[in-house]
Amino acid sequence: MAQGSEDCAEWQTFVCEPGTHRPLALVDGHNYRHPHRLRPQVYWYQTDHTGTPHSLTDIRGRVVYRCTFTAYGKLLDEAFYTDERTGKPLINVRNPLRFQGQYEDDESGLF
């Protein structure tokens, strides 16, 4: 599954475990004239036993994003972590995935 911005400058691809809706990775990229300057970033989903994603880690294993849900999959809380030295966010995208096979649409608010 993939999503992109309205002007196609940014895109995200969601990689799932083969034959399931269990998320494995989020690839965040940008369509710039010089793509070598800003390479796509890969973040790894950390899921519970049902495949619900609760956090994302970067290539170094640092938790960059964490979230909690209601019993029905509505987002309760989300946290974006920052670099201790620079204070900059470690990730710049929201996680729209909820329970397995569910995707929260920003425009409609439905999932």
Domain boundaries, the chain: 2-80
- Total number of residues shown for the chain: 111
Pairwise CA distance, residues 29 & 79, whole Å: 21
Average pLDDT, stretch 27-35?
71
pLDDT band, residue 111 (cuts 50/70/90): low
pLDDT tops 90 at residue 25: yes
User: In the block, which residue shows the tokens 């966010």?
Assistant: 89
pLDDT band, residue 55 (cuts 50/70/90): very high
pTM recorded for the entire structure: 0.79
Q: What is the dihedral of CA 68, 78, 25, 37, to 10 degrees?
A: 180
Are 64 and 84 in contact by the 8 Å Cβ rule? The answer is no
Tokens of 50: 């049902």
pLDDT for 34 equals 57
